Amino acid sequence: MARERRRSAPLELAAGSKGGFSPTGFRDDVVAGLSLPQKSLPPKYFYDAAGSRLFARICRLPEYYLTRAELALTRRHLAAIVRFAGRGCQLIEYGSGEGVKSRMLIRALRPAVYVPIDISEDALLAAARSLAREFPWLRIAPLVGDFSRPLDIRVRRGTPSVVYFPGSTIGNLAPEEAHAFLSMSRGVAARMLVGVDLKKDPALLHAAYNDAAGVTAAFNLNLLARINRELGADFDLRRFRHYAFYNPAPGRIEMHLVALENHVVRLGRHRWHFAAGEAIHTENSYKYSAEGFRALAERAGFARARTWTDRRGMFAVFGLSFSDARRRRAGLPPTSPA
């Protein structure tokens, strides 16, 4: 390991980068979420080490077309994407996970620095180590953090920054949260590449979140297992069933864990009664039309949007730019590539 590290460019975990996960924040969010009339848990807690491994398996499932479609479209439009982002930029990736898509972009963009950001320290550091081996010339500055809050991202002045947010992770935010996220990102970079899952036949969507091998079910149930492991709750996983469906009015997949019988769950001095059939809402995964997403980006202050899609129109990557004129009006320094 030490020898590998010496051969590669330095891999530094950015200072003050422990803002991702805090056990007290986790406990507070679980207690607050389970105490709501519609019990719910924030999806960012899916990603402990076991959850990140399960997500990596989801990406390889035949039903989960998202990863393959985004990889195919990135390959197909790589030259245009690189022209848009600009070689030698500072590449900041939110929710980088395993870094599957990052490789292709890093190889083509040769960024001056790569800042992968993820709440899952295990997944982040494993991916950063593997990228450091693969790209010994690359400066990697991983940051453990929660992207729904402002983060202290140290970027060099004078080198354009580009935010990369693949995987349709933006779909796990409610549209108003996505708006806030995009708006906040304008302070970090003048250009963004965002991967978004598109609206389509609900049967395909349904299958992607109800795979035959039951990996998505295991991913969903792992949230309860994690609450037991880390917070000492007594969820009995056999008493809950994974339930996911497409809700066309808001345009989202909803994931729930439905109680199969009446029972009580304990966490410290807290007790929650579950009626048979009662659900914990664990995730939304919003699907957009291309126009719908461009309109959202425009409302969040991005002036122009390029759209790249795969041949079947399943998935899109949007290239969003925030003009220098707008940046000046907002009191931000010009950072977009010439």
> Which residues here bind ligand AVI, judged by CB under 6 A?
58, 66, 167-169, 171-172, 209, 216, 219, 283, 285
- Confirm if 276 and 264 have CB atoms less than 8 A apart: no
d(CA 8, CA 188): 27
Q: Which does 285 bind (CB under 5 to 8 A by kind): ligand AVI, ligand SAH, none?
A: ligand AVI
Residue of 8, 74, 169, 282 that binds ligand SAH (CB under 6 A): 169
Question: What is the smallest separation between the CB atom of 337 and ligand AVI, expressed in angstroms?
Answer: 28
Query: CB nearest ligand AVI: which residue?
Result: 285
DSSP annotation of 13: P
Binding segment for ligand SAH (CB under 6 A), chosen from 24-32, 71-79, 141-149, 319-327, is 141-149
Other Cβ atoms closer than 10 A to 271: 10
Among 27, 34, 47, 181, binds ligand SAH (CB under 6 A): 47
Residue closer to ligand AVI by CB (options 26, 246) is 246
Nearest residue to the partner ligand SAH, using Cβ:
167
Q: Let me know: does 326 contact 304? Beta carbons within 8 Å.
A: no
**Nearest alpha carbon to residue 282 among 248, 262, 251, 258:** 258
DSSP code of 250? T
Instruction: Map the footprint of ligand SAH across residues 48-107, applying CB under 6 A.
Output: 52, 55, 59, 67, 95-97, 100-101
- For residue 245, the SS3 value is strand
If one asks whether residue 226 binds ligand SAH (CB under 6 A), the answer comes out as: no
Q: Which of 84, 135, 147, 293 binds ligand SAH (CB under 6 A)?
A: 147
Q: How far apart are CA 131 and CA 56, in angstroms?
A: 16
Q: How far is the CB of 21 from ligand AVI (least distance, A)?
A: 16
Transcribe 45-83 into DSSP letters: GG-SHHHHHHHHHHHTSSS-HHHHHHHHHHHHTHHHHHH
What is the radius of gyration, based on Cα positions, of the chain? 20
* Cα angle value 237/241/244 (rounded, 5°): 135
Least separation in angstroms between CB 62 and ligand SAH? 16
Q: What residues line the site for ligand SAH (CB under 6 A)?
A: 44, 47, 52, 55, 59, 67, 95-97, 100-101, 118-120, 123, 146-148, 166-167, 169
